[in-house]
Structure 1
Amino acid sequence: MLPKHQRIRTAAQFFETQRSGSRFGNRNVVVSANIRFSADDAPRAGFIVSKAVGNAVTRNSVKRRLRAIVTELFNRDLGVDLPGGSVDLVVRALPASAQLDFDELQESTTHAVHGALRKFMRRGQ
């Protein structure tokens, strides 16, 4: 579970990450990544799981899996050298994510996160 200081919770934070960041997706998830240059070093993540994914039980299951995957990514390393900033991620689950098992969702999400970060880094150069 992500601690409170590592969560994107307000509409303004979601909007800023999605508008200023770069987006990369596949058939299961879409990830928006933005690097912020502020005093707060903790990476943050927010999750969007709409009703199109399924009923409440399915949506909460997908959200819990995504939280676990992103927490593990933050604990390991994102695999990208961040130039003095911290990363914000917004992960949007697509309807196909409800049918995946954990390993497939993890592979799909990790690929999308790394793709969004690579895209952001290329855009900044």
Structure 2
Amino acid sequence: MLATRNRLRTSTDFSTTVRSGVRNGRRNVVLYTVAIAADEPSRIGFIVSKSVGNAVVRNLVKRRLREAGALSLQQYGTGFAIVVRALPAAAAASWDQLLADYNAALETTMKRLGGRLPRAASVVSRETRQEGTPRA
């Protein structure tokens, strides 16, 4: 299970990652990855639409992808935001197929990031920034 600090939770985080991230698709998943501050924990979010299946199937796919994400945090524990979008084929995929697609897409996006690896944290981090204060 993913810790709260490792989850993408707001629509702003999702849209920023999807719009500005590096994308790679496989048969069952599409991954979007973007580098964030190097000292921030990596965060992962999941998009599993109704096209994947009914609620039972969507939750099964989501649980499997969440576990794959938790395993990937061992290698990429800090500095990345990742959005995983499940495709309809994920409903019929086994755990091994989902894990293989997730890992292959993640490795490809990390290679494509290349020079855009996690940047150093700004003077004012997101956690310490007060509401209404200008960003550093």
TM-score for both structures, normalised by structure 2: 0.80
Output the amino acid matched with 1:92. R
Aligned residues: 117
Deviations 1:22-64 (A, max 9, x none): 00011210000000126x5211000000000000000000000
> What are the ranges of 5 or more consecutive residues in structure 2 without an aligned counterpart?
118-136
Q: Which runs of 4+ in 1 moved over 3 A?
A: none
The Cα RMSD (Å) is: 1.8
Pair 1:12 & 2:5 matched: no
Q: Which stretch shifts more, 8-17 or 111-120?
A: 111-120
Structure number with greater Rg is 2
Higher RCO, 1 or 2 (CA under 8 Å, sep at least 6)?
A: 1
Q: Give the helix-richer structure, 1 or 2.
A: 1
TM-score for both structures, normalised by structure 1: 0.87
Partner of 2:91: 98
Aligned residues with identical type, % of pairs: 41
> What are the ranges of 5 or more consecutive residues in structure 1 without an aligned counterpart?
none
Distance in 1 of aligned mates of 2:28 and 2:86:
6
